[in-house]
A and B are shown apart, each in its own frame.
Chain A
């Protein structure tokens, strides 16, 4: 029995970035004040979200209704359960990290339009945390679209023709997907009369005919194109033209995570694992995800641009999450859910490293990075941690989620899925290991000769080194038994309990 508690905390948590966004606009001319608003709001938000954790761990859910009876049977309001809180905690914590990094990055590169940048960043977090805390699909849709719109200016930040193209592609994909999502939500509402998230779902075979439910699921899947599954993935690598902290936001904190978060919500809380199984949608979704996991890894191998390679890695890793829920087994779902925060920490480490390499050396391609590990030891060490985590090596956080996913595949009883998981992990090693190897053991002479006359490459500013060290450290800490990772696992278990 889950107890429901009424609390204003979810609304307060959302108010933080919104107020911060306004204050950022007002302190346009005073950069230090502007950036401190971001940090203060981030700390407040994280504190508020963290303060909800004890209640969630006691198997309670927190509800707060802003508008009652928006449509019959639907309130505009929040319902914080274990799964939502996991995502909200990840986003809000990583917001602080990315903000610190952004200060270093944007100032080091003397970027233009920084007020717009921080403003949109705060709005994007508003959207992401809103998605995490929403209690039903319509509320979620509102925040989901805010997230799309607010990240557009970030993607086109550079304002070059290339960036404009990326921005158009970004909007074309994501707003089209928003249209599908709206259609799906409206149809879901018309058959079930509700769009609330319940563990076990609100759609059953009795609600509508089988073909209807299957088409509806397809619409939902198209609606969550932010999850960047193949063949709807190409906006993500294109969007890599954005500044690196933005890529980190897209990949680790907000955008794509909101997509997979949505898919998990649909599978576990709208359809419910039972209905999914009866409809045979689990196998379909898992096959989808399997294609993406392997396909994206193959694409990644072919990339020389570091950020592009990371982008394809994200596409592949997101499908681990989709894959996990598609297994429809408890362990698989647990693995999928904890992979959201764990992947967030590891991927943000990798992106922050890519950003600091760019700032320190101006290098974007892997082939040019030979020996850079000796010039930037901290950065590259953190990168190694992240990369090993991605491959799922023991002693990194990535191992835990892969372990659960593997168990989930076994529980599902389908050995082909286990094989897919293993092959994909192997491919991860294939494209990550060369980067690490080149960085540490590559011939550094070419590097020095390239930079003769200019200053020697050294570590990036502290504003950038500290955040990436923190996230790298977390990527290791999560592996070892400690209260934080136990709490995460406990939450993932609670998330599905009725």
Chain B
């Protein structure tokens, strides 16, 4: 059995890769088959990700050598508690989006089902690859795979989406260029591409300017990919004009995967010692603070719901990067080290996934894009609106939701490093969140449709979305609350503690 589990990481990448082409071919003959192949693949991956996590937690990291070639010559897949954890979030959200897409895609992209699912499957393959690989060049390749699928998927709606996709294409390519420049620099110094190998070879060169430059290249490149302020300019349009499930994937997991890549590069390729040489993480904190404030303020000015959510994502990337930034200095368990950052990655995936899918539902049912058009929507779509409210409450950080817990942890970590300014920023930003989310909720629930007002107590005109779309939304929204309680019960904390232990963060026992 153990032998089989060893092979799961590669299967998680290869199965979707093959499945993508199978969808393309099968779709030729029978368009309806696409979705089932897609679902089947994702379900299988999701189950595998759990087996991988269990194995990693019990027996420690899995090292898989591709083709039996020993690293550093061959490509290696390394699964430790960090990427096993990210993989579950990734596949869970993908599964939710996949279930949602069945009805939505027929509506949003009529006649493009086959190519959509092919690309979606490729996107997931790329994301899984980035997550699982133990080789930095390999990581670059997978980043390109998922980015290219994403460019195409964003452009799928045509018209203005083409422009959004093009902006992302240009900026995203610049980002990956920086990333590969970084890889080049490291290769020129060490002659290795394997992450573990690099971490062993690099320490003598920590004073080397090329190595420092490489780190900066990585930061800049990944900051663009994760839409960290001020490199966020591609994000609002891309989020707003992509199909709903792609927006959810973009905001919920793709930019988080770039954060994961950043964490991996900072802590696994470079090490804690190197990070302590440079004040990079301190600067990062301040950039993140700017992102939080700017993202929230910009979100308030939006009238397009999806754009508003997109700016909210910019702010939330700020949260995550702030948490990463203070991870070096905050040590107390449970908020020390990377805990709050990883926690918010999961929470943000749930919340934003839910919000974007709900926003997509409004477009699906009534072609509603703008917040002002949502008058009286809660009467027509009670379940979707209720889900939206739950996720919004979680975004604002009202207890006992998931968002509250991550906010609390970041605040406690900021207090531990005695930076009260960060505390103030986090608190102010939750008020700003309140402003822009409550505006939507108020319009949905408390304002009546023009003309058709005084329809007190009428239940007649329900126009709820199909069950296939409703279930993922309700599932994600209830998880926004349930996860809050789960986090408070500290059930997943042991996984995060292992991550901290691995990187030498947190309290040394």
Contact = CB atoms under 8 A, between A and B. Distances in A.
A-B interaction: yes
Nearest to B396: A175
Nearest to B435: A172
Interface in B416-472: 416, 423-424, 427-428, 430-431, 434, 438, 442, 445-448, 456-457, 459
A145 B398 contact: yes
Nearest to A163: B446
Interface in A144-187: 145-146, 148-149, 153, 156, 159, 163-164, 167-168, 171, 175-176, 178-180, 182-183, 186-187
Contacts of A72: 332-334
Interface string A191-220: 000000000000000000000000000000
B489 A67 contact: yes
Interface string B292-325: 0000000000000000000000000000000000
Contact of B411 (A112, A168, A186): A186
Contacts of A76: 488-489
A186 B332 contact: no
A323 interface: no
Given A70-B489, A167-B442, A186-B411, A175 B431 contact: yes
A69 interface: yes
Quick one: which of B332, B434, B438, B446 has the most chain A CB within 10 A? B446
A180 B423 CA distance: 11
A175 B428 CA distance: 11
A271 B224 CA distance: 48
Size category of the binding interface on chain A: 35 or more
Nearest to A71: B334
Contacts of B457: 112-114
A164 B332 contact: no
A463 interface: no
A145 B399 contact: yes
Contact of B448 (A142, A159, A163): A159
Interface string A69-100: 11110001000000000000000000000000
B249 interface: no
A288 interface: no
Interface residues of B, number: 34
A150 to B, nearest CB: 10
Nearest to A161: B447
A146 B423 contact: no
Interface string A92-128: 0000000000000000000011100000000000000
Interface string A40-82: 0000000000000000000000000001011110001000000
A327 B415 CA distance: 33
Contacts of B335: 71
Contacts of A179: 427-428, 430-431
Quick one: which of A114, A145, A167 has the most chain B CB within 10 A? A145
Given A113-B457, A153-B445, A167-B446, A183 B427 contact: yes
A183 B490 contact: no
A175 B434 contact: yes
Contact of B442 (A71, A168, A183): A168
A189 interface: yes
A141 interface: yes
A119 to B, nearest CB: 11
Nearest to B397: A182
B44 interface: no
Contacts of B408: 182, 186
B400 interface: yes
A381 to B, nearest CB: 34
Quick one: which of A67, A153, A182 has the most chain B CB within 10 A? A182
B412 A189 contact: yes
B446 A159 contact: yes
Interface in B487-506: 488-490
B96 interface: no
Contacts of B423: 183, 186
Contacts of A146: 398-400
A343 to B, nearest CB: 28
A328 B333 CA distance: 37
A115 B181 CA distance: 61
A153 B442 CA distance: 9
Contacts of A142: 399-400
A146 B404 CA distance: 12
Contacts of A168: 438, 442
Contacts of B398: 145-146, 148-149, 175, 178
B490 A187 contact: no
B416 A190 contact: yes
B341 interface: no
Contacts of B400: 142, 146
B451 to A, nearest CB: 16
Contacts of A167: 442, 446
Nearest to A190: B415
B253 interface: no
Contacts of A183: 411, 423-424, 427
Nearest to B412: A186
A70 B431 contact: no
A474 B25 CA distance: 79
B271 to A, nearest CB: 28
Interface in B374-404: 393, 396, 398-400
Given A71-B334, A164-B446, A187 B415 contact: yes
A168 B443 CA distance: 12
A156 B446 contact: yes
A112 B446 CA distance: 12
B346 to A, nearest CB: 18
A182 B411 contact: yes
A49 B448 CA distance: 41
Contacts of B416: 190
A62 to B, nearest CB: 22
Contacts of A186: 408, 411-412, 415, 423
A494 B243 CA distance: 62
Contacts of B424: 183
Nearest to B454: A112
Nearest to B333: A72
Contacts of A171: 434, 438
B488 A70 contact: yes
A213 B243 CA distance: 52
A183 B430 CA distance: 12
Contacts of A113: 456-457
Contact of A182 (B427, B446, B448, B488): B427
A20 B408 CA distance: 30
A187 B420 CA distance: 10
Interface string B15-48: 0000000000000000000000000000000000
Given A149-B398, A190-B412, A69 B490 contact: yes
B489 to A, nearest CB: 5
A182 B333 CA distance: 19
Contacts of B393: 149
A112 B427 contact: no
Given A72-B334, A183-B427, A67 B488 contact: yes
A183 B397 CA distance: 13
Given A146-B399, A187-B415, A164 B488 contact: no
Listed from nearest, the 9 A-B pairs whose CB atoms lie closest are A112-B456, A142-B399, A179-B427, A190-B415, A67-B489, A112-B457, A145-B398, A70-B488, A159-B446
15 contacts: A71-B335, A71-B412, A112-B457, A142-B399, A146-B398, A146-B400, A164-B447, A168-B442, A179-B427, A179-B431, A182-B427, A183-B411, A186-B411, A186-B415, A189-B412
Interface of A: 28-29, 67, 69-72, 76, 112-114, 141-142, 145-146, 148-149, 153, 156, 159, 163-164, 167-168, 171, 175-176, 178-180, 182-183, 186-187, 189-190
Given A71-B334, A183-B424, A190-B415, 17 more contacts: A67-B485, A67-B488, A67-B490, A70-B489, A71-B412, A76-B488, A113-B456, A113-B457, A141-B399, A145-B398, A156-B442, A167-B442, A167-B446, A180-B427, A186-B411, A187-B415, A190-B416
